[in-house]
């Protein structure tokens, strides 16, 4: 950049620097370009607002067709460290306008992603709160009673469905449809291993609902008693046991998350021999 004919304004330079978090926009450099100077009133800045298409004729990537305003505009600038600013002018065949625009776009995206990123401590606490809510959702008779002791199968199915909705959306509905508690769904969990386990739990809940529908259609169980004292006998005892084992497995997976999060665990069944 031989002369400053079409140099950027201070405001444009600041905009270029701040939109990339004051880091060099070269994706393989990413150097922070400013910091504290020994003089308490000053900053040390090694960042440069470089021209993508040169500010003066004869300089790298100069584009005759551009107006002065275009050459001075934000769109024609890229924030780089001093060394990368030199680098891009040494080989214009390699560091083309297209390459530099791509660097700029990537650097801007990275900067906003870094702003959005939460700290590991914060994300652990957020996850813990969400898991605590999910544990509450599973703390209901549908996950505590042996299948033979479930009150009404319709209620059992509804309870499984409500739990599934709570897991997916963070909204737990009571039997009359009122919203009991609002949180976020499992997709908001930061810890990828916990998120995967919650997905597995959701899959198992779905399969409980599917097998329940089939069992009902095929009349795979007989109902005894009435009112509160209803219990079920499965003609296929393995199927009855499957409902128990699947729920036990669900609570085991959930408990493995609870142990890591330092939360109380749930176990199935708590009241197997109630009657």
Whichever of 19 and 31 has its CB closer to Zn ion, that residue is: 31
Binders in 208-267 for Zn ion, by CB under 5 A: none
The span of 28-36, 48-56, 61-69, 118-126 binding Zn ion (CB under 5 A) equals 28-36
Q: How far is the CB of 19 from Zn ion (least distance, A)?
A: 16
Using rule CB under 5 A, residue 17 touches Zn ion? no
Closer by beta carbon to Zn ion, 47 or else 170: 47
Tell me: does residue 24 bind Zn ion (CB under 5 A). yes
Q: In this structure, what token pair is assigned to residue 108?
A: 């801007």
Minimum Å gap between C-beta 24 and Zn ion is 3
Q: At which residue do the structure tokens 């607002």 appear?
A: 49
Per-residue HEC secondary structure of 26-91 comes to CCCCCCECEEECCCCCCEEECEEEEECCCCCCCCCCCCCCCCHHHHHCHHHEEEEEHHHHHHHHHC
> Nearer to Zn ion by C-beta: 29 or 165?
29
The residue among 31 and 190 lying less far from Zn ion, judged by its C-beta, is 31
The stretch among 16-24, 71-79, 118-126, 242-250 that binds Zn ion (CB under 5 A) is 16-24
Q: Between the CA of residue 123 and those of 168, 195, 201, 261, what are the distances in Å?
A: 19, 13, 21, 12
Q: Does 16 bind Zn ion (CB under 5 A)?
A: no
Q: According to CB under 5 A, which residues from 77 to 136 bind Zn ion?
A: 81, 84
Judged by beta carbon, residue 101 or residue 171, the one nearer Zn ion is 101
Cβ nearer to Zn ion, comparing 20 with 172: 20
Of 24 and 198, the one with the shorter C-beta distance to Zn ion is 24
Measured between alpha carbons, how far is 257 from 261 in angstroms, rounded to an integer? 6
User: Nearest-5° angle of CA 136, CA 137, CA 140?
Assistant: 90
Q: Does 29 bind Zn ion (CB under 5 A)?
A: yes
CB of 92 to Zn ion, least distance (A): 17
Helices vs. strands in the chain: H and E counts, helices first: 8, 8
**Pairing status of strand 34-36 against strand 43-45:** antiparallel
Contact between 48 and Zn ion by CB under 5 A: the answer reads: no
Measured CA angle at 85 (ends 80, 87), to 5 deg: 130
Among residues 6, 22, 26, 50, the one that binds Zn ion under rule CB under 5 A: 26
**Bridge partner list, 171:** 182
Binding site for Zn ion (CB under 5 A): 24, 26, 29, 31, 81, 84
């Amino acid at each position: 950049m031989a002369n400053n004919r079409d140099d950027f304004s201070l405001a444009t330079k600041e905009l270029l620097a701040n939109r990339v978090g004051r880091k060099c926009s070269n994706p393989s450099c990413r150097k922070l370009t400013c910091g504290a100077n020994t003089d308490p009133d000053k900053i040390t800045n090694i960042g440069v607002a470089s021209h993508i298409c040169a500010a003066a004729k004869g300089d790298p990537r100069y584009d005759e067709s551009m107006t002065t305003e275009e050459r001075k505009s934000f769109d024609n600038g890229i924030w780089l460290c001093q060394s990368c600013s030199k680098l891009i002018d040494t080989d214009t065949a390699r560091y083309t306008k297209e390459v530099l625009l791509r660097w700029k776009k990537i650097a801007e995206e990275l900067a906003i992603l870094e702003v959005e990123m939460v700290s590991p401590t914060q994300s652990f606490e957020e996850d813990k709160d969400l898991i605590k809510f999910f544990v509450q959702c599973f703390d209901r008779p549908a996950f505590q009673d042996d299948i033979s002791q479930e009150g009404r199968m319709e209620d059992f199915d509804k309870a499984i469905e409500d739990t599934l909705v709570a897991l997916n959306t963070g909204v737990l509905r009571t039997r009359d449809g009122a919203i009991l508690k609002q949180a976020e769904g499992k997709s908001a969990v930061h810890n990828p291993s916990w998120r995967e386990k919650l997905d597995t739990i959701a899959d198992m809940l779905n399969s409980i609902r599917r097998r329940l529908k089939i069992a009902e259609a095929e009349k795979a169980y007989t109902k005894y008693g009435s009112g509160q004292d209803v219990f079920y006998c499965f003609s296929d005892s393995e199927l009855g046991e499957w409902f128990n084992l699947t729920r036990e497995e669900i609570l085991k997976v959930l408990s493995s998350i609870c142990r890591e999060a330092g939360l109380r665990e749930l176990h199935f069944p708590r009241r197997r021999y109630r009657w």
